A = this chain, B = another copy of it.
């Protein structure tokens, strides 16, 4: 999409993506090697009753969906940050996650007319329509 196509209130959706155990464990071995993310046997005995995904994988999967459904082909050049990440429900092996993102605001910078700024809220749900992730993202666009 292009910057001019984003409109306040627009809802952008990405179809479900299944989270496989191999990816979940590989990600966590690299970036979040806590036992409930990497050791299936111990996780099964533990409080979660099975492996759960690193929250950073959940965010990364949401990012991939945001790129594929919205940012691909746009003037996007980065982000200054993200607000209020909430990992609401554990993500488990085999979950099918989908993204719904709402455009909260979209504007051109008051100080630089070549800078587009979009704030959007991302929500991810699993196959039971339980919300697993919430966050508020900001994306920057190069309109020069």
Contact = CB atoms under 8 A, between A and B. Distances in A.
A96 interface: no
A83 interface: yes
Interface size class of A (residues with CB under 8 A): 35 or more
Given A77-B47, A81-B85, A60 B67 contact: no
Contact of A59 (B56, B64, B67, B80): B56
Interface of A: 27, 30-34, 36, 46-48, 52, 54-56, 59-61, 63-64, 67, 71-72, 76-87, 90, 142
Interface of A is mostly: mixed
A112 to B, nearest CB: 13
A46 B54 CA distance: 33
A64 B31 contact: yes
